[in-house]
């Protein structure tokens, strides 16, 4: 190659390189300045990040909205309605907050936060007076509008939420008003309700041991069970091993499981007992002394129904130390107060009025609890160990029914003796005794018949 040509090429390449070195940073700066506006330190967005609304700031960061808010601030002034920290820490439903923080619900979180921001500046002086009608404004979430009003006492509101700190933070490009609670758009609420209902009715079929048909020696095909149908197995087979129960077998294939949120329902009925008052001892045994709350939640999740006869605190205080100190005694007491049926005060009273005396199965095998009509109410048990239906229908949700009684029930001693005698009869082998022929009796009968015909025997 010619050296002169090579030198010319080198000179051109070096010149092009210098142009790139000085031009590229300028192009990049101009491109970035044209696409995203510059935010100065006196911006309302910087003031929000440094304000005392820390819970809202954390949600904004987790929603990845900083870039969108920078664009909004660069294009026009904004108005932010910021809920106080207490409203997001304690007043907000924990389940709803968990729903907002799930990554798959990012769109719902963004819609919720942008519904608190108006693309215009509205200070407290520009609020509509009390004499005028409601003023409607479009938020950054285009499908949600905010309504600003002033009540007769002069207090400002935004969508039924009181403005606690008007003009709390004021900057040249925006203003922040402190409000008492979070504003939830209808679309976000509907999405939350839809996710919660789907989670509560989601059916998960167990993977149990396969069953073999003894006639064909082939695997049995499980029968289809519709969602929400009653369980195939009896409740005693589904219970975990306990102090008075045999070990539970593996669930058969095709049994329905987890159609209902039993853990939440058990938690609700225990909280109802505490708020109702007078049943703290019963709630303490369920939660702290035993694992029955977890067991009941699992059973309800699998589709079983339960009726709890809850003794009040006055009745529980009469229990002696010996009655509670034996291993497994609290479980046995509570098992005897749980009926594997869904009964209300009306259904039990109608049953005892019609049939006189009813014996309900309990989760303490094989004991039953007797119920009968007495003094216009339902009385459980017999004799001195009886208890009356004292607080009817404390909690009824279609799966769990809680009925308050004024005594602690125990199985009758006669009933235990009957159960032991029945067990002995089942275990004692039956011996077949051959009857001996009684010839004298047969001869007397024959002579009697012949005498009737005039014969001499």
Condensed to tens digits (0 to 9), the pLDDT of residues 204-221 reads 444 455 566 667 767 666
Together in a domain, 54 and 130: yes
β-pair type (387-396, 400-405): antiparallel
CA-nearest of 405, 249, 422 to 333 is: 405
Band of the pLDDT at 28, cuts 50, 70, 90?
A: very low
Q: What is the residue range of 137's domain?
A: 44-197
Q: What is the mean pLDDT of the chain?
A: 77
Cα–chain center distance at 142: 33
Together in a domain, 134 and 266: no
Within-domain flag for 36: no
Q: In what order do the strands lie in the sheet with 377-380?
A: 338-339, 306-311, 400-405, 387-396, 377-380, 368-374, 357-361
Query: Which of 390, 405, 420 delimits the end of a domain?
Result: 405
Together in a domain, 52 and 188: yes
Together in a domain, 274 and 387: yes
Within-domain flag for 315: yes
Together in a domain, 145 and 285: no
- Name the domain count of the chain: 2
β-pair type (78-83, 174-179): parallel
Together in a domain, 58 and 165: yes
Together in a domain, 184 and 284: no
Within-domain flag for 450: no
CA-nearest of 277, 263, 266 to 308 is: 266
**pTM for this prediction:** 0.43
Together in a domain, 193 and 283: no
Query: Is the previous residue joined to 156 through a cis bond, with omega within 30 degrees of 0?
Result: no
Together in a domain, 266 and 387: yes
Band of the pLDDT at 275, cuts 50, 70, 90?
A: confident
**Could you report the per-residue pLDDT of 113-126, keeping only the tens digit for each?**
999 999 999 998 88
The stretch 166-182 carries a mean pLDDT of 91
CA distance 413 to 370: 14
CA distance 198 to 103: 18
CA distance 230 to 399: 11
**CATH number of the CATH domain containing 83:** 2.30.180.10
């Amino acid at each position: 190659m010619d050296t002169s040509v090579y030198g010319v090429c080198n000179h051109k390449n070096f010149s092009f390189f210098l142009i790139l070195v000085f031009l590229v940073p300028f192009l990049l700066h101009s491109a970035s300045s044209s696409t995203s506006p510059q935010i100065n330190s006196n911006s309302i967005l910087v003031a929000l990040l440094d304000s005392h609304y820390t819970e809202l700031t954390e949600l904004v960061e987790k929603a990845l909205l900083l870039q969108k808010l920078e664009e909004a601030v660069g294009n026009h002034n904004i108005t932010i309605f910021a809920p106080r920290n207490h409203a997001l820490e304690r007043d907000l439903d924990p389940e709803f907050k968990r729903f907002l923080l799930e990554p798959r619900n990012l769109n719902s979180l963004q819609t919720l936060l942008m519904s608190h921001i108006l693309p215009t500046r509205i200070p407290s002086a520009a609020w509509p007076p009390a004499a005028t009608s409601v003023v409607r404004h479009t938020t950054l979430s285009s499908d949600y509008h905010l309504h600003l009003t002033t009540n007769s006492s002069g207090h400002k509101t935004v969508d039924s939420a009181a403005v606690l700190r008007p003009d709390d933070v004021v900057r040249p490009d925006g203003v922040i008003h402190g409000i008492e609670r979070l504003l939830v758009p209808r679309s976000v609420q509907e999405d939350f309700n839809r996710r919660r209902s789907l989670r509560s009715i989601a059916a998960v079929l167990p993977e149990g041991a396969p069953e073999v048909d003894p006639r064909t020696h082939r695997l049995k095909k499980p029968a289809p069970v519709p969602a929400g149908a009653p369980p195939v197995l009896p409740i005693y087979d589904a219970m975990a091993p306990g102090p008075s129960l045999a070990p539970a077998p593996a669930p058969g294939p095709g049994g329905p499981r987890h159609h209902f949120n039993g853990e939440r329902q058990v938690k609700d009925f225990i909280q109802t007992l505490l708020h109702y008052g007078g049943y703290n001892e019963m709630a303490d045994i369920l939660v702290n002394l035993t694992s029955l709350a977890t067991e009941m939640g699992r059973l309800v999740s699998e589709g079983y129904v339960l009726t709890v006869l809850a003794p009040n605190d006055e009745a529980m205080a009469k229990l002696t130390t010996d009655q509670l100190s034996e291993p497994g005694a609290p479980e046995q007491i509570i098992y005897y107060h749980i009926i594997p049926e869904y009964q209300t005060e009306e259904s039990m009273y109608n049953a005892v009025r019609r049939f006189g005396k009813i014996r309900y199965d309990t989760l303490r095998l094989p004991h039953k609890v007797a119920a009968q009509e007495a003094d216009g109410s339902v009385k459980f048990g017999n004799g001195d160990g009886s208890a009356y239906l004292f607080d009817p229908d404390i909690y009824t949700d279609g799966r769990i029914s809680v009925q308050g009684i004024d005594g602690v029930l125990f199985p009758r001693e006669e009933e235990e003796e009957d159960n032991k005698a029945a067990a002995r009869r089942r275990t004692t082998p039956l011996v077949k005794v051959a009857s001996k022929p009684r010839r004298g009796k047969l001869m007397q009968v024959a002579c009697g018949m012949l005498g009737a015909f005039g014969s001499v025997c």
